[in-house]
Amino acid sequence: MEAQRAQDIAFSSDMVNVTYNGESVYIEHVDETSGTATIHPLNNPEQKQSVPVDSLQEQ
């Protein structure tokens, strides 16, 4: 996924299905400069992690 698309999803009011390593995740924040996104699994909001944006998949 490109950083701009991840940013669009993060700010969207629509629920877009995004996965990281096969697990559905929520994008909290995108840092376009570093190409990373702060995400958490849908079923575990406490498990935040920073990952490369290009490792996210839109379903």
pLDDT at res. 1: 95
Rounded Cα distance, 36 and 54, in Å: 8
pLDDT at res. 15: 87
Exposure string for 8-29, b = 16+ CB within 10 A, e = fewer: ebbeeeeeeebbbeeeebbbee
CATH 2.30.30 fits 3-58, yes or no: yes
Q: What is the pTM of this model?
A: 0.90
* In the chain, domain spans: 3-58
Instruction: Quick: pLDDT tens for 7-41.
Output: 999 999 898 999 999 999 999 999 999 999 999 99
DSSP 19-46: EETTEEEEEEEEETTTTEEEEEETT-TT
pLDDT at res. 36: 97
Contact between 20 and 51 under an 8 Å Cβ cutoff? The reply is yes
